[in-house]
Structure 1
Amino acid sequence: MTTRPPTTHPEDSTSNEPQQQRQSAWRLVAGASLISTGLAAYEIVPASVTPLIRDALNIGPTIAGFLVGVMFGTAVIASLPAGAALDRADSRTAMALAVLTLVVAGTWGWIAGRRGDYRSVIASRALGGVAYVVVWNAGIDIVSRAATSENRATAVGIFTASGPIGFALGQGTGPVIAHRFGWPTIFIAFTGLTVIGLVVFWPASRGIGTSRGDAPSVQEFGAVLRNREVWSVGLLGFLGYSLYLFVNSWGASYLTTELGLSLAVSGLLVAVFPAIGVVSRISSGLLSDRVFGGRRQPIVFGSFAVAAPLVLVFTQFRSLPLLVALLLLTGFAVQLTLGLSFTYVREVVDSRVAATAVAFQTSVGLAGAFLAPIAGGVVVDQAGFDTAFLLAGGLAICGIVVAWRAPEPGYS
């Protein structure tokens, strides 16, 4: 007896196709975000167990701090070359290679840590920094292309929220992992999360990360670096990341030194500042896409306009509930720019060099992240916290001026 095959109607598959494409796009975003979350946790986790590392390797606080700082430094240097390569290559394959690189770097760091070889640990972290910047740039590139123009900023905002999620994961679980399995285990603890992310990402990204025709020429690459609109958006990222890392680095010290709180309590209170970024970075895309009809400039202008007075008055209050409220509001405001700027910059250039523009934004932004804690420390030592926060507020005011004159892609 033969079985009749089920009757199919062409219009059924046609009507389901857009829904399937949307589901695939959001699976891609989820997978890329998991990869980035694992890398962000790997990036920050040594900070959570610094005393253990110092005792085990017999190193000072400055050298120990380099375990985190080396990844920022590597990212600043490697970002532009990585972006230029991504404009000539397959972002999908680049994500897979970056995950493999992290597995190698994590294993290398674990072995070096068990042997007590500090220099080798640092070298492994530098390799991990290359993996981080490739995932960040390639992830933004491929997520942007998978999304529609109506929800692009929302999708990229969700992806960039992986940063604060990963930071919270690394800071929260690092001590537990180190206590249970030994501190070198922190270097391999989060590689599994990136592999899981790749398993989700790979099938969903089929056909999206492929090359977009001929590779951009050297002249087109140079045009990105000469583009005044790119520099304008890049400056917004630099100022935003400077504010973000300044408060992250010196907020807890202020509460401890000036208000007499314990370092544990101060750290817990200041943790709300980056944590609110999960909401803020996603909200930046939703606000831009849904409320402002795809406009980007009003969001970044509002970001600095709200942040400036909050940073300027921060040291004038002693009430803990009020200070926590200020940290929440400031963290939300600052990270609106951090979430949106990567969508913003790729829209002011030709799509053929979009990855290069994103890489430029990453490099300039992380330069601010690298410099702000150092400069903040110098000002605190020389003039105190009031002056340091006053100057940080001045950066936010500069952000207002730059955002007011910032371009609006697609609008005359």
Structure 2
Amino acid sequence: MWGIVAGASLISTGLAAYEIVPASVTPLIRDSLGIGPTTAGLLVGIMFGAAVVASLPAGAALDRTDSRTAMALAVVTLVVAGTWGWIAGRRGDFRSVIASRALGGIAYVVVWNAGIDLVSRAATRENRATAVGIFTASGPIGFALGQGTGPLIARRFGWPAIFVAFSGLAVVGLVLFWPVSRGLGRSPGDAPSLREFGAVLRKREVWSVGLLGFLGYALYLFVNSWGASYLSSELELSLAVSGVLVAVFPAVGVVSRISSGLLSDRVFGGRRRPIVLGSFAVAAPLVLVFTRFRSLPVLVGILLLSGFAVQLTLGLSFTYVREVVESRVAATAVAFQTSVGLAGAFLAPIAGGVVVDRAGFETAFLLAGLLALCGIGLAWTAPEPGRS
């Protein structure tokens, strides 16, 4: 099982780095292409928008086909998308860059849904949340890698090189993943009916967990997308230093996402709701006060603690949603969770850009904190799998 987790995680790490890396060099891209902050938000947001649209069809297909083969095809798609974006960036063709990022978003969501499906099926009920938590830790590892190395890559090779820099990591992951995952493909006889798919979308518990994911991802992407710009614009730090400092926000998710599964499985006896409730309860006040401080040690501390808290939800929600549906439609439930969660990720960078442009960073972070407060209320009433 752990070989499957390692290989799938490495693939996902490469995709996550590709996904977030434009945020680390947004000022360079804006100056080069002559675009504003709202338009620049599309560089990250478009991937999530494409993933929102593609996720549910991808999940339905994964419940009926071979998730293992889908992973391989997604890695090939990433290589194509990255090369396309690099060429378009060198030509200064912004529309083509955006189109390449949309293609990358489809690759990302297939890897994410298929990875969770395969890891969950390889694990037992007793360690499923832990295994899925380890896989989802690939997200913050990739985000930290993209945020921390993006400015260095751009300085050495030019900013368009950020789009091809992480494809090799996904290819190496596929080489590791392919042999150990043999036999995990889904046969046509396992395919659920269309009525079962529809039942997933009508289930209240699925929507509750999905909305928690929406709020968690909105917070996560807002800070990732605009944290570095805040530090460089308001505190006058260099872009490289700002990127490294903000990288701690996703990086702490390596511990957080793994911890979410361990805490739920071992400390709370398999209960999911207490972890999610605690996640938003800690994150809300930290995001609300972020712009009140100018001390770098304090800001780094807030980034660490809030990053840890937010990602407790992101690490657990995919196990959570699988457990409120029948196993035959688990991939569809995961795809729904991905779609709704990534809708928050899609909207946050763009909406954040609009608010920053019109009202400033302080108002933008205040609104993000209010979203976290909404998460507390929603988590309080969320269902507990297997309990009335």
- TM more than 0.5: yes
Q: Distance in 2 between matches of 1:391 and 1:188?
A: 34
The reply on whether 1:340 has 2:316 as its aligned counterpart is yes
Q: What do you get for the CA RMSD once the two structures are aligned? A: 2.5
1:149 matched to which residue of 2?
Answer: 125
The reply on whether 1:351 has 2:331 as its aligned counterpart is no
Q: Which has the larger radius of gyration?
A: 1
The reply on whether 1:45 has 2:45 as its aligned counterpart is no
User: Amino acid of the residue matched to residue 261 of structure 2?
Assistant: G
Q: 1:361 aligns with which of 323, 337, 347?
A: 337
Q: Distance in 1 between matches of 2:224 and 2:90?
A: 30
User: Using CA pairs below 8 Å that are at least 6 residues apart, which structure has the higher relative contact order?
Assistant: 2
Residues 327 and 177 of structure 1: CA distance in aligned 2, closer, same or farther (over 3 Å)? closer
**1:226-245 equivalent positions in 2, closer than 5 A:** 226-245=202-221
Q: Percent identity?
A: 86
Cα contact 2:64–2:186 (8 A) shared by 1: no
1:138 matched to which residue of 2?
Answer: 114
**1:115-194 equivalent positions in 2, closer than 5 A:** 115-194=91-170
1:85 matched to which residue of 2?
Answer: 61
1:108 matched to which residue of 2?
Answer: 84
Q: Distance in 1 between matches of 2:23 and 2:355?
A: 23
Q: 2:302 aligns with which of 322, 326, 334?
A: 326
Q: 1:276 aligns with which of 252, 257, 263?
A: 252
Q: Distance in 2 between matches of 1:177 and 1:58?
A: 21
Aligned with 2:338: secondary structure?
A: helix
Deviation of the 1:220 alpha carbon: 1.1
Q: 1:296 aligns with which of 254, 272, 276?
A: 272
1:17 matched to which residue of 2?
Answer: none
Deviation of the 1:66 alpha carbon: 2.8
User: Amino acid of the residue matched to residue 150 of structure 2?
Assistant: G
Cα contact 1:42–1:186 (8 A) shared by 2: yes
- TM-score (ref. length: structure 1): 0.86
Q: Distance in 1 between matches of 2:283 and 2:188?
A: 39
Residues 58 and 265 of structure 1: CA distance in aligned 2, closer, same or farther (over 3 Å)? closer
Aligned with 2:14: secondary structure?
A: helix
Q: Distance in 2 between matches of 1:147 and 1:62?
A: 42
User: Amino acid of the residue matched to residue 367 of structure 2?
Assistant: L
- Greater CA deviation, 391-400 or 191-200? 391-400
Q: Distance in 2 between matches of 1:186 and 1:267?
A: 14
Deviations 1:64-120 (A, max 9, x none): 543332211111111111111111111111111111222222233334444554433
Cα contact 1:165–1:278 (8 A) shared by 2: yes
Q: Distance in 2 between matches of 1:369 and 1:403?
A: 19
The reply on whether 1:197 has 2:173 as its aligned counterpart is yes
Deviation of the 1:56 alpha carbon: 5.6
1:286 matched to which residue of 2?
Answer: 262
Deviation of the 1:310 alpha carbon: 2.4
Q: Distance in 2 between matches of 1:181 and 1:230?
A: 45
Residues 102 and 330 of structure 1: CA distance in aligned 2, closer, same or farther (over 3 Å)? same
Cα contact 2:23–2:225 (8 A) shared by 1: no
Deviation of the 1:376 alpha carbon: 3.6
Cα contact 2:213–2:314 (8 A) shared by 1: yes
- TM-score (ref. length: structure 2): 0.90
Cα contact 2:12–2:139 (8 A) shared by 1: yes
Number of matched residues?
388
